Structure 1
Amino acid sequence: MRRTWLIALPLTTAFLLAGCGGGGDPLDSGSGDTGGDSPAAGTATAPAPDGEGGEVVVGSANFPENELLAEIYAAALSDAGVDAPTKLNIGSRETYMAGLEDGSIDLVPEYTGGLATYLNPDITATSSEEVLADAKENLPDGLQLLQISQAEDKDALVVTGETAKELGLSSIADLKGKAGDLVLGGPPEFETRPNGVDGLKKVYGLEFKQFRSLAAGSNLTVQALKNGQVDAANIFTTDPAIEENGFVVLEDPESLFAAQNIVPLISKDVVNPTVEEALDAVSAALTTQNLTQMMVQVVSNGEDPADVARQFVDENL
């Protein structure tokens, strides 16, 4: 059934979003559901407590970390007696917001800063509390944000250790007067979003020699940075490739990249005490540290996100 509310912002034609680790990304390529439906992290569905469990279709953007988080949500909901089928690897924020609007999905793992900027390109808030408040203020009527987690995965501008040493880079501000000779890599949306190329120019006065569209945070981005095909790249801070390759995350003294706490974005139509309690428990258990470790399992070790999600839920909830 189509939702009665409408997304206030026009949908862009870009179906890509940046992600952490290998595979596709929501700031990346793919115009639709490239993954397909799957059971909720391989778990059996128990009877709903007091018959209130219901069904929640869990979606994800098309990058590994968001898929992992969706599997965690689905596993926790299933354990609580909620029928929680998944629709993974849908696409970018522009794409999965449309899925929430048309009712094909009910829930996605979100990032407060990215969502707030999507809903309000003129946002000036940077702290976790202010960013969350701004996002809530601008949400479409049919959507709700539940409890945020302390886990945070931020956009970052990353260079190799060699580039940082050669150019004397420790912060984004250090690129002033040097960016004109450098190629910047990132997801297609990074070229036009307020905290992307436009933001780097507006906030830091940077104009790069070229922008190269990549599946940010994926293996392609990492290889492009390692091989010198790009000189700087937009990579998420929980990506294991940063530490594994000795990359340098440039500091962001002007807070171009706002707080990015992970939070469930859900349709009000499916919220009930059982659903809310299960998802709040996930948020309470998630930390940046354990999320980063799970990304090592998924990206570096090649483990199935559903298996990693099940382990996390069994050990923490």
Structure 2
Amino acid sequence: MRRHLLLMAATATAAVVTLAGCGSAGSSGTEAPASSAAGAGCAPVTGDKLVVLTDDKALQNTDNVIPAINKKASSPQLIAALDKVSAALDTTKLIDLNKAVDVDRKSSKTAAQEFVTANNLTTGLEKGPGGNITVGAANFSESATLGEIYALALTGAGYTVKVQQIGNRELYEPALEKGEIAVVPEYAATLATFLQGKVDKAGKDPSSTDLTTTVTNLTALGEKVGLVFGKASEAQDQNAFATTTAFADKYSVKTLSDLATKCSGAATILGGPAECPQRPKCQQGLVDVYNFQAGKFSTLDSGGPLTKTALKNGTISVGLVFSSDGALAAG
């Protein structure tokens, strides 16, 4: 299970339908946004490499990687060690870490050790009070790798650390509150929305396209449940839209604004999970924020192998992916 609350996993059955008025969106039977595009659009282009189009109007919220910490287990030295990890981590490096594990088939421990060594993350750390602590991780490889990186940094700060892969947020977040685990790698916007649902379901969505706003709201929510946070890294794992590099080069598109301006029209095929046409961070958001109008929608998966294969094979023009996917690594 991925960490995002904005899109749930969808059917694996692929189908392509024309968007006309309120037509269906693939095999799901859900309705898609009406298309008023009159342009020719941009037909898919096959290619082995994928590239994310820049979200230049900030459609997506700030899902930056951030250490979430049980307040009672916290210490200045623990936070300093985790902040050093955050300072070294950006989206490009996170993509490379995911490639090492998901594509090159290294273990999370090996990838973490290589990252810690390359970035000198244990050099000069002040020793904390020590003792045994557990770093939690969710049940997907990126979280496991980040958990191993946190563990190595905290070991350098004098702690005896083990990593425990627990499951989804509904399982590991209560364990963090109780102190059964001390630290977990989290995602700022999604965790803020999750905690808001626990603290006050009727309250305003605390996530934002502005990182400072998101972290401020997250910090306030954390205080209510006994959590504190290290600094947010520059690394983001959020919903994103990708094309092949061949497509981007052919049509000269680098941003989602470029896509909307140059590729709205009948030939353009958007791919994603069945619920994408109605989601404010998927097709509906592309319509509302960018005025992008796809000619067709293909029901695939949520940033998974069906979508990436469809992009590379030239079945779709643009598809929903996760911004830190190892398939996006350069070279």
TM-score by length of 2: 0.48
Structure number with greater CO (CA < 8 Å, separation at least 6) is: 2
TM-score by length of 1: 0.50
Task: Indicate the structure with greater strand content.
Answer: 2
